[in-house]
Structure 1
Amino acid sequence: MSENDPSAAAKAVVRRNTEEVQGGGDFALFDELFADDFLDHTPQPGRTPDKAGARELYRVLREAFPDFRADIHWQAADGNLVTTYKTYHGTHRGEFFGIAPTGRSIRFDTVDAMRVRDGKISEHWGVANLFSLMQQLGALPDAV
């Protein structure tokens, strides 16, 4: 991973975010990995599309699911744009979107794309299966 291979370097930044920030709760590293002008093109409900909104989402997820972590199935990069397919896991121990803790184990798939500029995540686009997550938490009926 060197400047000679921007795709590998960009994938490493995104992997560190997934494993160490989202999975490990390292918010000091969050500040290092995210550009100050970060833009989330697909922010979650109630979150601003900036660095503060992403930090708040990560904080909420870690509080609701203290063991929150992801299995990265694959990553692909085109220059500085990294696409990752992963499955998140956790145990519902804190309030999430108004749902009181259930103690249930959850898992949901996500595909996201992150642009890395100068070693920092500068943009994000993502699709998460939140319908499945809400079903697992009992907030929506199971599919028939």
Structure 2
Amino acid sequence: MTNDESDPKEVARRYVEVVWNEGDIEEMDEILTKDQVYHDPTGDGEEPLSEFKEFIRGYHQAFPDLTFSVDRYIAEGNLVSFWGRATGTHKGSFMDIKPTGNRIDIMGINVVRVNDGKVAERWANFDIFGMLQQLGHDPLSV
């Protein structure tokens, strides 16, 4: 592994490009630890890499052109924060919502902790409410 590959910002960039933009399930073994810890507004705890692979596979089936454009990466020690926008076209089932053909455009913020050149812990907060509205599913109008 070269110095660039172990630099936390480079690990975070690779995480975004390979995992989110390419959806490369096989390459995820080289980017994330086997049992990374995940935190989001709905809960947190250990997440086996196999579960995260299924999550990514589902996102890419629902949004085959999914792209996460990062505005900035900021690193302090082994923590890297980054934010930007995710866009894509809803062409597959997502959260029991049948394909709509609608485009999504949402903002999100992430922090990753890098350990030995791999993402070992993740924090994320995306505008899921806005995404559901863009898919024509407003949770407030139940």
TM bucket by the smaller chain? 0.7 to 0.9
Aligned to 2:127: 129
Q: Does 1:2 align with 2:3?
A: yes
Which one of the candidate residues 22, 26, 37 is aligned to 2:24?
Answer: 26
Q: Can you give the 5+ residue segments of structure 2 that lack an aligned partner in the other structure?
A: none
- Distance in 2 (CA, whole Å) between partners of 1:91 and 1:115 is 30
- Distance in 2 (CA, whole Å) between partners of 1:14 and 1:43 is 21
Relative distance call for 1:88 and 1:141 in structure 2 (3 A) is same
TM-score under structure 2 length normalisation = 0.87
- Distance in 1 (CA, whole Å) between partners of 2:47 and 2:41 is 5
Aligned to 1:13: 11
- Distance in 2 (CA, whole Å) between partners of 1:61 and 1:134 is 14
Aligned to 2:93: 95
Does the 8 A contact of 2:86 with 2:108 survive in 1?
Answer: yes
Relative distance call for 1:44 and 1:12 in structure 2 (3 A) is farther
- Distance in 1 (CA, whole Å) between partners of 2:41 and 2:21 is 19
Deviations 1:54-102 (A, max 9, x none): 2121111100000011110011111110101010010000000000000
| Aligned AA (2:99) | P
Identical amino acids, percent of aligned pairs: 35
Aligned to 2:65: 67
Q: Does 1:140 align with 2:141?
A: no
Aligned to 1:119: 117
Calculate the aligned-residue CA RMSD, in Å. 2.1
| CA positional deviation for 1:17 | 1.4
Count of residue pairs the alignment pairs up: 136
Q: Can you give the 5+ residue segments of structure 1 that lack an aligned partner in the other structure?
A: none
Q: Secondary structure at the match of 1:93?
A: coil
| CA positional deviation for 1:43 | 7.8
- Distance in 2 (CA, whole Å) between partners of 1:124 and 1:110 is 13
Q: Secondary structure at the match of 2:74?
A: strand
Moved over 3 A (4+): none
| Aligned AA (2:3) | S
